[in-house]
Structure 1
């Protein structure tokens, strides 16, 4: 038998594979409600954010249904155990990377920004508000805001890195997270966070710009860390 490449597996994928194996073995049947998130996380010895990512990955693969405010229910049983759930990068790993990289991007932008740059950033933030007010997600303008901030640094490599990070923010698992954690006021916080970043950049205050970005991404992490089973509904953060 020829050698085969060993694919690296994310932690949430390992958890999803184990849970799918239990479903396939009949431990949980179609229509069953899975145990509460905190109990499953304890039994599997993983954090609740990792378990939350695994549940979303299983939903995308058709194994379960995550119902906001009601828990997670088995959709299929008796299937062959899932091998790899490729739902994109871990939401929390991606946000941790963004906190580190985009914080420094904001600081560098504060040093280099012109009045035109600041006006462009403010216009993009206003566009997010217009899009969300009309019922759109605002994600395109949101991503454009962060990429424009990277452009202000004058470093093409940083622009590429931020663009790559934002491609991950549009991946399947992140998109579902957005849907499950939608709630009133989320967009307003997002826009206010962006305005704080723009204000710091406009003052050429690198430390304040770095801190404003950290606060912004912390808000996104806090929304994603909410217990999905207790989440009600509406909006996209980024």
Structure 2
């Protein structure tokens, strides 16, 4: 155990625990896949309660930095613990529900229209985006670019200038929700399956199925740890 895991001063304890863990990862040369010390051991070494350690672990999970495996401990998902300021996480937590509501309303309609208006060129772009997603998932990467290309292709396939303009207005917020979702464990594979289902419905020209598949996808996107996280503990 490194010297970084020494008792912490009083204050916002879980944030201080995170800082100690970040320093420990560096000093102990831990990398992605490394296991962190057990909560009980961390609490003893840091001189805090196990609840403070648990709060710190949850905050790290929210940011996609660690993964808790049931009965198997906590493991790094990246080579470092470069955490975001808590204020930034809180701001994103407050905004995300509105973004998801907007995505559901807008993208569900866009998918429905795409199923009736798509051209051969549109279907080519949708398939091209899926190929990028498949390659990224196979490589073990969050399929950020493939996801972006797919949704852009669906917007184009809907052939609605005004809805496309609305989509562009919230493109950056959509990107944030995409990142939040795709860094959840197991989510890249789920996202790819969702996109395959949306594409199938658009390809066969079934607007009801396309809308339902997009609605289900946005519901999956909404299931992120950030929304259940209580920053006050």
Matched, 1:157 2:158: no
Spell out the pairing of 1:114-129 with structure 2 (5 A cutoff). 114-129=119-134
Contact 2:198 / 2:210 at 8 angstroms: preserved in 1?
yes
CA RMSD of aligned residues (A): 3.9
- The residue number in structure 2 matching 1:93 is 98
Indicate the residue corresponding to 1:210 in structure 2: 211
* Distance of 2:173 and 2:211 partners within structure 1: 22
Measure the CA separation in 1 of the matches of 2:149 and 2:194: 15
CA distance in 1, matches of 2:132, 2:52: 41
Query: Aligned partners of 1:142 and 1:84: how far apart in 2?
Result: 23
Aligned partners of 2:93 and 2:226 also within 8 Å:
no
**Normalization by structure 2: what TM-score?**
0.57
Q: Provide the C-alpha distance between the structure 1 equivalents of 2:204 and 2:149, rounded to a whole number of angstroms.
A: 21
1:182 equivalent to 2:201? Answer no
> 1:44-193 maps to which residues of 2 (within 5 A)?
68-69=67-68, 86-87=91-92, 90-171=95-176, 175=179, 178-179=182-183, 181-183=184-186, 186-193=187-194
Q: Deviations over 1:136-192 (max 9, x none)?
A: 322112111101111112222322332343421333x8645643x223xx3222122
1:109, CA displacement in angstroms? 1.0
Instruction: Give CA deviations for 1:16-60 in whole Å, capped at 9, x if unaligned.
Output: xxxxxxxxx9464733554977xxxxxxxxxxxxxx8xx58xx98
Distance, in Å, in 2 between the alignment partners of 1:209 and 1:103 is 8
Unaligned runs of 5+ in 1: 1-24, 38-51, 72-80, 230-238
The 1:128–1:34 alpha-carbon spacing in structure 2 relative to 1, beyond 3 Å, is same
Contact 2:111 2:202 (C-alpha < 8 Å) held by counterparts: yes
Structure 1 CA distance for aligned equivalents of residues 101 and 89 of structure 2 = 23
Higher relative contact order (Cα pairs below 8 Å, separated by 6+ residues)? 1
Asked whether the equivalents of residues 129 and 191 of structure 1 are also in contact (C-alpha less than 8 Å), the reply is yes
Aligned length: 171
